[in-house]
Amino acid sequence: MREGCHNHRRRTMTGALLLLLPLLFPSLFTPFSHAFPSLLSELNAPNPRHSRLLRSALERQTSAEQQTELWRPSPIQGSKPCLRQDSTLSLPEKSQGYIQVFLDGGLNQQRMGICDAVALAKILNATLIIPHLEVNPVWKDSSTFDEIFDYYAAAIRANRVKTAPVHASANWCLDNVSPVLQSYGIAAVAPFSHRLAFDNMPKYIQRLRCKVNFQALVFVPHIRDLGDSLVSCLRYPLNTNEAGSSNYLTRVTDSKDKQGSGKFVVLHLRFDKDMAAHSACDFGGGKAEKLALAKYRQVIWQGRVLNSQFTDEELRSQGRCPLTPEEIGLLLAALGFDNNTRLYLASHKVYGGEARISTLRSLFPLMEDKKCLASSDERAQIKGKSSLLAAVDYYVSMHSDIFISASPGNMHNAVVGHRTYENMKTIRPNMALLGQLFLNKSLTWVEFQEAVVEGHKSRQGLLRLRRSQQSIYTYPTPDCMCSA
Ligand SMILES: *[C@@H]1O[C@H](CO)[C@@H](O)[C@H](O)[C@H]1NC(C)=O
Ligand SMILES: *[C@@H]1O[C@H](CO)[C@@H](O)[C@H](O)[C@H]1NC(C)=O
Ligand SMILES: *[C@@H]1O[C@H](CO)[C@@H](O)[C@H](O)[C@H]1NC(C)=O
């Protein structure tokens, strides 16, 4: 923390952490997306690939029991977050010096890095420096993170620890970083992402990581406000009257008693062009699409894409193809979500654009995205700011009744972990099963539905214990949890 740098040597990062996203993460996803002009986004609309299933799904009937079951919150599973039980979390007598870390990657990777940095500072009894811009009197208004980042980099180059191995132990840190601290009073660890081990850490360090990630690290008020606006827009939707004029907005009141009313699902749909190209799967756009994706793959990754050695069928049956909006729609329909389900699409750019989303929308007409925000002023605040959008999506995802992610990745892992910690319902698609089901063109809707329901019974928030090497932020049990 910058202010800690000036006066309060003993202050560490364990207090209220604020994450100032717009400044911390200026351009999350941009480089690749702009590297190659979009040949395809406006290409002829891809037809539904599973039209037979789709026809049945559009006419689906769901029972009241099915609905009750779906919206039922996760049961208490014998453990709850461990909090305020550690007297070891007091501040050290004296700070051993200042610690800096350098974090790359997107929002969620940096989030993990911040938590690990706090843990490292604790291991070393050091004071952690993090650009803390929002309420800081020194940097108020004038600076961007980049300016500060460069300034720091120049200032501490001689004290940089470059050799941290992936998943370094606490002892490694004590042996290699402490001496630098002792000599210079300040040490920087870069690169730092994924450098701190998840295994064999003292319990109080694990608890501290949990506390930082799941409790202390909160978004700035501005982001929470936008998130709250979205959440309330989803829970208490406004109904445009028939003339379609936004001057006449009325609260929807007719469906109050129905199952799932006032509730919503967040669907994290990361189906962008990078993802589509990198997966090397066939998305039904014919030869033109295949060629264009292959070319894109060549430009961006120079042929270093493992998946391109496999056929589409092999990839699908192994569950290595991201689910398309159509496929995730069929999954949700098969699980029993009816066409009154309010779905929030947490997603920035969908490869293929509205043409691909329209199939999903036909299954879930009440699907919403950030357009749900009431005022144009609010919409203007987030327009084109992908980092801020990612933070808002994270926030909304943490306030939904159900979360489901159509593709694995950092956002998926972060939200799944956080929701597990809060015992909130999450559905994890069984990609391999779905891949195999979608390959079978003779499957009837009923067969599809039975297989989907059966194959997802244990994937709706059942507790999964962290295994060796796995991230504590994705699998908070057992490290962050105590028996209830
Ligand atoms: C929802 O589905 C039912 C029958 O399955 C249909 O009658 C109704 O029109 C659908 N509603 C919407 C908004 O599409
Ligand atoms: C950190 O401080 C604690 C308590 O003040 C002490 O027990 C521990 O040995 C210190 N560790 C280091 C590496 O300075
Ligand atoms: C497709 O599904 C049908 C009905 O379940 C089954 O009889 C058939 O063996 C499956 N085909 C393949 C190739 O798996």
Distance CA(362)–CA(139), nearest Å, equals: 49
In this structure, how many other beta carbons lie within 10 angstroms of the beta carbon of residue 313?
13
Could you give the percent of the chain with pLDDT greater than 90?
45
Residue 262 pLDDT level (bands cut at 50, 70, 90):
confident
Atom 2 (ligand 3): residue with closest C-alpha?
443
**Which residue from 317, 441, 442 has its CB within 8 A of the most atoms of ligand 3, so it is best to mutate?**
442
Within its chain, how far is the Cα of 325 from the centroid? 18
Atom of ligand 2 nearest to the CA of 124: 13
Residue 433: predicted pLDDT = 97
Convert the pLDDT of each residue in 16-53 to its tens digit: 333 433 333 333 333 333 333 344 444 555 778 899 99
Which residues form the pocket of ligand 3, taking CB atoms under 6 Å from any ligand atom? 440, 442-443, 447
Residue 95: name the closest of 199, 203, 161, 12 by CA.
12
101: its two tokens: 């870390």
Average pLDDT taken over every residue of the chain: 79
Distance CA(328)–CA(326), nearest Å, equals: 6
Q: What is the pTM of this model?
A: 0.82
Atom of ligand 3 nearest to the CA of 451: 5
Distance CA(389)–CA(483), nearest Å, equals: 36
Distance CA(96)–CA(111), nearest Å, equals: 24
Residue 92: predicted pLDDT = 77
Identify the residue whose tokens are 């039980």. Answer: 85
| Among 135-149, 210-224, 363-377, the range of highest mean pLDDT | 210-224
Residue 259: predicted pLDDT = 58
Atom 4 (ligand 1): residue with closest C-alpha?
59
Which residues form the pocket of ligand 1, taking CB atoms under 6 Å from any ligand atom? 59, 61, 339, 365
Evaluate whether 479 touches 206 at the Cβ level (below 8 Å): yes
Could you tell me whether strands 186-189 and 238-240 are parallel, antiparallel, or unpaired per DSSP bridges? unpaired
For ligand 2, the distance from its centroid to the CA atom of residue 162, given in whole angstroms, is: 24
Of the listed ranges 54-68, 264-278, 362-376, 415-429, the one predicted with least confidence: 362-376
Residue 383: predicted pLDDT = 72
Residue 327 pLDDT level (bands cut at 50, 70, 90):
very high
193 vs 448: which has the higher pLDDT: 448
Distance CA(129)–CA(102), nearest Å, equals: 11
Q: Is 352 exposed, middle or buried (0-12, 13-18, 19+ CB in 10 A)?
A: buried
For ligand 2, the distance from its centroid to the CA atom of residue 88, given in whole angstroms, is: 10
Atom of ligand 2 nearest to the CA of 92: 5
**pLDDT higher than 50, residue 155:** no
At a CB cut-off of 8 Å and minimum separation 6, what does 460 contact? Answer: 74, 425, 426, 427, 428
- Mean pLDDT, to the nearest integer, of 176-186? 94
360: its two tokens: 């999903």
Convert the pLDDT of each residue in 398-414 to its tens digit: 999 999 998 788 899 99
Atom 5 (ligand 3): residue with closest C-alpha?
443
Residue 421: predicted pLDDT = 94
For ligand 2, the distance from its centroid to the CA atom of residue 121, given in whole angstroms, is: 11
Residue 85: predicted pLDDT = 56
Atom 10 (ligand 3): residue with closest C-alpha?
440
**pLDDT higher than 80, residue 246:** no
Atom of ligand 3 nearest to the CA of 441: 1
φ, ψ of residue 483 to 5 degrees: the values are: -70, 140
The bound ligand whose nearest atom lies closest to the alpha carbon of 99 is 2
**pLDDT higher than 60, residue 320:** yes
Residue 192: predicted pLDDT = 87
- Mean pLDDT, to the nearest integer, of 276-305? 88
Asked, as a colleague might, if the bond just before 37 is cis with ω within 30 of 0, I would say no
The bound ligand whose nearest atom lies closest to the alpha carbon of 442 is 3
Residue 363: name the closest of 394, 384, 336, 385 by CA.
336
Could you give the percent of the chain with pLDDT greater than 70?
77
Distance CA(340)–CA(30), nearest Å, equals: 35
Distance CA(320)–CA(314), nearest Å, equals: 9
Residue 482: predicted pLDDT = 87
Atom 4 (ligand 2): residue with closest C-alpha?
92
Residue 285 pLDDT level (bands cut at 50, 70, 90):
confident
Convert the pLDDT of each residue in 95-141 to its tens digit: 999 998 877 777 788 889 889 999 999 999 999 986 433 222 322 33
Evaluate whether 246 touches 240 at the Cβ level (below 8 Å): yes
Evaluate whether 395 touches 223 at the Cβ level (below 8 Å): yes
Distance CA(410)–CA(105), nearest Å, equals: 10
Residue 4: predicted pLDDT = 33
| Among 8-17, 81-90, 453-462, the range of highest mean pLDDT | 453-462
Q: What are the CA-CA distances from residue 393 to residues 124, 151, 272, 368 (Å)?
A: 34, 31, 16, 12
Q: Is 78 helix (H, G, I), strand (E, B) or coil?
A: coil
Convert the pLDDT of each residue in 380-438 to its tens digit: 777 766 667 888 999 999 999 999 998 788 899 999 999 999 999 999 999 999 999 99
Q: What are the CA-CA distances from residue 54 to residues 185, 281, 360, 450 (Å)?
A: 64, 21, 10, 15
The bound ligand whose nearest atom lies closest to the alpha carbon of 62 is 1
Within its chain, how far is the Cα of 263 from the centroid? 20
Residue 484: predicted pLDDT = 74
Residue 154: predicted pLDDT = 44
Distance CA(208)–CA(431), nearest Å, equals: 34
Alpha helix ranges (H) inside 319-397? 325-335, 354-363, 376-382, 386-397
250: its two tokens: 């009325």
Convert the pLDDT of each residue in 340-379 to its tens digit: 999 999 977 788 888 889 999 999 999 998 887 757 787 7
Residue 145: predicted pLDDT = 40
Of the listed ranges 72-81, 95-104, 212-221, 242-251, the one predicted with least confidence: 242-251
Atom 1 (ligand 2): residue with closest C-alpha?
125
